[in-house]
């Protein structure tokens, strides 16, 4: 079969083919780029595999590096060549395009590591060692066979049938490189594909091997799952294959329903996944998706059955927010402002809903605006996504009240500029006013001003704050100057 998609005729690929012809070697574009070309997905990184003859002494020259050097020379200015001698690979960059060159290889693995022993091989051997049939297709770039598809495992059919399966026995493919279990689930989620039964069973059988994979690589795959259209699909597969408790025990702990006196609480795991999908559907960013996944993570620890009330989860938001840094550390997610944002979202996630359930006072809305700051829109999105009850009347009531809170928020923000609230009277000014040294009283006066503004007693402006503070000081018997 000849691939005619115009992308295969982009100048850089034609140039690679011409240089390979000059060196007398075969060369193919392979792997993810070919898959994405057929699926009409964007893909920048191009992997090229070369197959060349051995020299007279029986050694195979590093054809990947030689071809990369020739290509970089032809591309001239603006191109950049990096050579990785130990691996026998090289990379050429020009503008946005990156082409990686490597000799065809066969690999064998040891049991305790995912670092293979690598030897030169044929194209077919190179395709054999790849993870999935849809990632094992190659397209020839040599002039006389330009565009010819080499697809020994029927990857093209699997793309049509939306199937993920391995070229070899899946037990071998997954045991050789257990990261592929995560990749299988990630591709299924990203592309909306299904794992074959054999593939699924092999993951379940080999799941313990995930322990030899670094947490960073697992986190990369989890983030790709999170950024998919329906991230729940990935988490459900992780659960069903048994990988979930091995990589994220706190999430696995959300599973299950307990019943007491005939009263059951909802399954927090499935509720969480629904909230996550809702956030994804509303185009929430990666970290808001993590916040959605973690919003109820504190529930198992706070769960209690109280005969008069039923199941309660008091303070689960607070307990959950405290768990986030530990979870981020264990999963090797960033320990920076992104994590702080997730902590804040988990901590505040009940606030809008509590507001919605009660009468919506200006003062409560102002306080929420103050605490959420610039993240208020994300918090409201999370809160809306969290409304998953099956009771339609209840959902309607929530949504109506949600709109009311949103409306009030816009109105108050326009009037009082609470969102990035800075106290209109600073500590220094208070100290000058009353000739005070830094002390607890300064803080007290400052926070009294803040509360007065948030409660709507005074407007958010300097003069009103000064009058308020003078009055307060007088009540406390302080002398003004
Ligand atoms: N590959 C593999 N086993 C792995 C990783 C990669 O067999 N554990 C092979 C696959 O043929 C894959 C190719 O190397 O297509 C390139 O890998 P990579 O760039 O990591 O992934 P892509 O398939 O290109 O997909 P993505 O960019 O979405 O990760």
Q: So what's the pLDDT on residue 367?
A: 85
The residue-averaged pLDDT of 454-481 equals 83
248: nearest Cα among 330, 325, 319, 320: 330
Of 118-127, 137-146, 368-377, which one has max mean pLDDT? 137-146
Q: So what's the pLDDT on residue 162?
A: 97
Name the band, by pLDDT with cuts 50, 70 and 90, for residue 227.
Answer: very high
The residue-averaged pLDDT of 101-124 equals 72
How many Å separate Cα 414 from the centre of its chain?
34
Q: So what's the pLDDT on residue 116?
A: 60
Residues 6+ apart with CB under 8 A from 381: 279, 282, 284, 288
What does the alpha-carbon distance between residue 31 and residue 137 come to, in Å, rounded to a whole number? 6
Name the band, by pLDDT with cuts 50, 70 and 90, for residue 251.
Answer: very high
What residue's CA is closest to ligand 1, atom 17?
A: 32
How many Å separate Cα 57 from the centre of its chain?
50
290 has pLDDT over 70 = yes
b or e along 243-252 (b: 16 or more beta carbons within 10 Å of the residue's beta carbon)?
bbebbbebbb
Name the band, by pLDDT with cuts 50, 70 and 90, for residue 371.
Answer: confident
What residue's CA is closest to ligand 1, atom 12?
A: 31
Pair 171, 208: CB distance under 8 Å: no
Q: So what's the pLDDT on residue 216?
A: 95
Name the band, by pLDDT with cuts 50, 70 and 90, for residue 413.
Answer: confident
Express each pLDDT in 30-70 by its tens digit: 999 999 999 999 888 999 999 988 777 777 788 899 999 99
Q: So what's the pLDDT on residue 70?
A: 94
What are the Cα distances from residue 332, in Å, to 29, 174, 214, 221, 247?
33, 23, 9, 12, 11
The full set of domains in the chain, from first to last, is: 6-161 (3.30.460.10), 162-247 (1.10.110.30), 427-475 (no CATH)
Name the band, by pLDDT with cuts 50, 70 and 90, for residue 110.
Answer: low
Name the band, by pLDDT with cuts 50, 70 and 90, for residue 77.
Answer: confident
pTM (2 d.p.):
0.89
Which atom belonging to ligand 1 lies closest to the Cα atom of 131?
Answer: 7
395 has pLDDT over 90 = no
What residue's CA is closest to ligand 1, atom 27?
A: 32
**Among 175-179, 351-355, 371-375, whose mean pLDDT is lowest?**
351-355
Pair 207, 252: CB distance under 8 Å: no
Name the band, by pLDDT with cuts 50, 70 and 90, for residue 259.
Answer: confident
What residue's CA is closest to ligand 1, atom 29?
A: 32
91: enclosing H helix or E strand:
strand 89-94
Which atom belonging to ligand 1 lies closest to the Cα atom of 114?
Answer: 8
Name the band, by pLDDT with cuts 50, 70 and 90, for residue 195.
Answer: very high
Name the band, by pLDDT with cuts 50, 70 and 90, for residue 169.
Answer: very high
Say how many Å lie between the CA of residue 32 and the centre of ligand 1: 6
Say how many Å lie between the CA of residue 47 and the centre of ligand 1: 9
Pair 105, 125: CB distance under 8 Å: yes
Express each pLDDT in 3-20 by its tens digit: 988 899 999 999 999 999
Q: So what's the pLDDT on residue 392?
A: 83
Say how many Å lie between the CA of residue 318 and the centre of ligand 1: 40
Ligand 1 proximal residues by C-beta, below 6 Å: 31-32, 45, 47, 130-131, 135-136, 177, 179-180, 183
Which atom belonging to ligand 1 lies closest to the Cα atom of 186?
Answer: 28
Say how many Å lie between the CA of residue 180 and the centre of ligand 1: 9
Pair 296, 287: CB distance under 8 Å: no
Percent of the chain with pLDDT over 70: 96
Supply the mean pLDDT for the chain. Answer: 89
**Among 92-106, 167-181, 331-345, 380-394, whose mean pLDDT is lowest?**
380-394
Q: So what's the pLDDT on residue 300?
A: 86
Q: So what's the pLDDT on residue 382?
A: 94
Q: So what's the pLDDT on residue 107?
A: 66
Question: 84: which strand partners?
Answer: 89
411 has pLDDT over 80 = yes
Express each pLDDT in 306-360 by its tens digit: 888 788 888 899 999 999 999 999 999 999 999 999 999 999 998 887 777 667 7
Question: In the 8-state DSSP scheme, what is residue 44?
Answer: -
């Amino acid at each position: 079969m000849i691939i005619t998609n115009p992308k295969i005729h982009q100048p850089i690929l034609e140039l690679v083919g011409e240089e390979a012809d000059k060196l007398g070697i075969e060369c193919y574009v392979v792997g993810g780029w070919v898959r994405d070309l057929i699926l009409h997905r964007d893909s920048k990184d191009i992997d090229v595999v070369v197959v060349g003859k051995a020299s007279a002494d029986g050694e195979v020259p590093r054809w990947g590096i030689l071809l990369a050097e020739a290509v970089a020379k032809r591309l001239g200015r603006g191109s950049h060549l990096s050579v990785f001698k130990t691996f026998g690979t090289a990379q050429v960059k020009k503008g946005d395009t990156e082409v990686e060159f490597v000799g065809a290889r066969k690999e064998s693995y040891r049991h305790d590591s995912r670092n293979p022993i690598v030897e030169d091989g044929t194209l077919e051997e190179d395709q054999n060692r790849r993870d999935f049939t849809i990632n094992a297709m190659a397209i020839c770039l040599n002039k006389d066979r330009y565009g010819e598809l080499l697809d020994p495992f029927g990857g093209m059919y699997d793309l049509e049938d939306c199937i993920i399966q391995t070229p070899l026995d899946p037990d071998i493919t997954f045991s050789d490189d257990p990261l592929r279990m995560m990749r299988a689930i990630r591709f299924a989620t990203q592309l909306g594909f299904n794992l074959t039964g054999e593939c699924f069973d092999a993951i379940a059988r080999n799941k313990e091997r995930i322990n030899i994979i670094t947490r960073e690589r697992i986190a990369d795959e989890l983030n790709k799952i999170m950024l998919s259209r329906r991230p729940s699909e990935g988490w459900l597969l992780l659960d069903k294959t048994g990988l979930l408790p091995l990589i994220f025990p706190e999430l696995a702990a959300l599973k299950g329903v307990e019943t007491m006196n005939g009263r059951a609480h909802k399954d927090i795991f499935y509720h969480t996944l629904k909230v996550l999908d809702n956030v994804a559907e509303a185009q929430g960013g990666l970290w808001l998706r993590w916040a959605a996944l973690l919003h109820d993570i504190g529930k198992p620890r706070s769960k209690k059955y109280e005969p008069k009330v039923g199941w309660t989860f008091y303070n689960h938001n607070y307990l959950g927010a405290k768990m986030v840094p530990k979870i981020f550390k264990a999963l090797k997610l960033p320990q920076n402002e992104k994590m702080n944002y997730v902590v804040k979202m988990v901590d505040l996630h009940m606030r809008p809903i509590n507001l919605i359930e009660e009468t919506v006072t200006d003062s409560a809305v102002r306080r929420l605006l103050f605490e959420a700051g610039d993240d208020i829109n994300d918090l409201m999105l999370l809160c809306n996504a969290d409304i998953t009850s099956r009771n339609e009347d209840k959902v309607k009531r929530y949504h109506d009240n949600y709109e009311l809170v949103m409306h009030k928020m816009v109105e108050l923000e326009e009037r009082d500029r609470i969102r990035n609230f800075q106290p209109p009277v600073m500590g220094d000014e208070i100290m000058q006013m009353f000739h005070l040294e830094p002390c607890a009283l300064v803080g007290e006066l400052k926070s009294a001003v803040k509360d007065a503004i948030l409660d709507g007693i005074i407007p958010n402006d300097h003069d009103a704050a000064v009058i308020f503070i003078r009055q307060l000081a007088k009540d406390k018997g302080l002398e003004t100057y």
